Homo-oligomer: A and B are copies of this chain.
Amino acid sequence: MREVYVAGIGITSFTRLEYPLVEIAAYPGLMALRDSGIKKIDHLYVANMGSCRINHQSGLASAVVDHMSLTPAGAETIENGPASGGSAIKQGYMAVASGLHDVVMVIGAERMREVNSLDATDFVATLTHPHAEYIYGITLPSLAGMFTRLYMEKYGVTSRHLAMVAVKNQANAMDNFYAHIQQEITIEGILDSPEALTNNPYVADPLRFFDCCPVSDGGACVILATKDVLKKLEKPMIKLSGVGQATDSHAIHERKEPTDLLAVREAARQSFEMAGIKPRDVDVAELHDAFTILEIVESEEVGFFKKGEGHIALEKGVTKIGGELPINPSGGLKARGHPVGATGVAQAHEIVLQLRGEAEKRQVKNAKIGFTCNLGGFGNNVICLTFVKEEN
């Protein structure tokens, strides 16, 4: 296999965006071309979950490659629910590693403003099991609520721990110009104050408003290329060193232990093994915190902390910027936002910024190894990526 490097990155603000989906996708692509100095690509992947339903657009990748005047490069749309971005990066990896293509652009984009909040909840719920879950009216927040309750009872996680994730990630996002949520919150304000029940109402007990990611529009891009291409660009050598992916039972009740996310465990194991590193070698990570509980659980399943001890590390400040292993310096899905198809690419974007030392006020010092975990479904299709900075 040929080695694969990140040649360029780009991102839009994650927020409510006025402009059409094709442009939400193209804009970070053009930023990444400028960032890299590359003018021509061999192939394009666009990660997107719902354009066919939400935006009345199929063949999105063909539209985007034309909109950027990058024809005749081939193009596909990759869909893996909220892990579409991670999946698209994996395809880009294989396209370059195989020798078929030298320069591959990977964009993630989603425009969710066309659906109202009820529709958005239904749309995201279509990734649950069609006959065992969806038809009974399950939603992602309700699944996550039940999962959280079990986790609390089993491992001693409290509402206070969940709130700590929200407070940390919203604080991180204050230093991220592109983040959706630009609001500093406190434990006092969202849990203890008399206004807390109004400010932070229950969504699906025990999950409250500030435990859930927002519904965002946005796009992000990474350009992957061979080592030879990178050397000519004089860019930092950020290598995509590990690619792991695993699936699990679709219906959660079929899992042996519903509080385990085995696909996260397996995808992370593959990614670390391929990169030749151990979990605790990681300097900075972006985890898939669509709900606050998920950051805690993933930090255990990927091997950063022992099972059931993620909330203790959180409590000690280990996962803050300045801690031993900062998690979600970008603000994560919780605060950077979660345009479903774009999220996996945005995670990689943040890690590349961090490894390049370009993350400004939220820079993790001496970050050399970065990691992302992107969940499709409720942990039933997971992509973990490991990025390593090589000295030029």
Least CB distance from A15 to B in Å reads 22
Q: How far is the CB of A113 from chain B (nearest CB, A)?
A: 15
Which residue of B65, B134, B250, B251 is within 8 Å of A247 (Cβ)?
B65
| Nearest CB in chain B: distance from A263 CB, A | 6
Q: Chain B residues near A129 (CB, 8 Å)?
A: 63
Give 12 A-B contacts (CB < 8 Å), ordered by A residue. Answer: A49-B52, A50-B58, A53-B53, A58-B81, A59-B79, A62-B127, A66-B248, A71-B248, A72-B247, A74-B245, A75-B80, A97-B98
Choose one: B61, B247, B249; the contact of A73 (CB below 8 Å): B247
Asked if A22 is at the interface of the complex by the 8 Å CB criterion, the answer is: yes
Q: Which of B91, B95, B134, B246 contacts A56 (CB 8 A)?
A: B134
CB within 8 A of A61: which of B53, B80, B126? Answer: B80
A58 surroundings in chain B (CB, below 8 A): 49-50, 79, 81, 123-124, 126-127
Contact flags (1/0) for A260-286 with B, using CB distance below 8 Å?
A: 001100100000000000000000000
Contact B262 A52 (CB under 8 A): no
**Residues in A21-69 with C-beta less than 8 Å from chain B:** 22, 43, 49-50, 52-53, 56-63, 65-67
Within the complex, which residue of B57, B63, B126 is in contact with A57, where a contact is CB–CB below 8 Å?
A: B126
Shortest CB-to-CB span from A3 to chain B, Å, is 12
Please tell me if A77 contacts chain B, counting CB pairs below 8 Å: yes
CB distance from A262 to the nearest CB of B (A): 7
Inter-chain contacts of A78 with B (CB < 8 A): 76-79
4 closest residue pairs by CB, A with B: A74-B245, A98-B98, A59-B81, A59-B127
Chain B residues, Cβ within 8 Å of A126:
52, 56-59
Q: Give chain B residues whose Cβ lies under 8 Å from the Cβ of A77.
A: 78-80
- Number of contacting residues on A, CB 8 A? 64
The smallest beta-carbon distance between A339 and chain B, in angstroms, is: 14
Known A49-B52, A130-B20; contact A62-B262, beta-carbon cutoff 8 A: no
| A143 adjacent to chain B (CB < 8 Å) | no
- Please indicate the chain B residues that have their CB under 8 angstroms from the CB of A100 in the complex: 1, 93-94, 97, 243
A65 to B61, CA, bound (A): 24
Is A332 an interface position by the 8 A CB rule?
no
Q: How far is the CA of A53 from the CA of B87 in the complex (A)?
A: 21
Given contacts A59-B127, A59-B380, A72-B263, 18 further A-B contacts (CB under 8 A): A1-B99, A52-B53, A53-B53, A56-B126, A59-B80, A59-B377, A60-B79, A61-B79, A62-B81, A62-B127, A66-B250, A71-B247, A74-B245, A74-B246, A74-B381, A75-B381, A94-B98, A97-B99
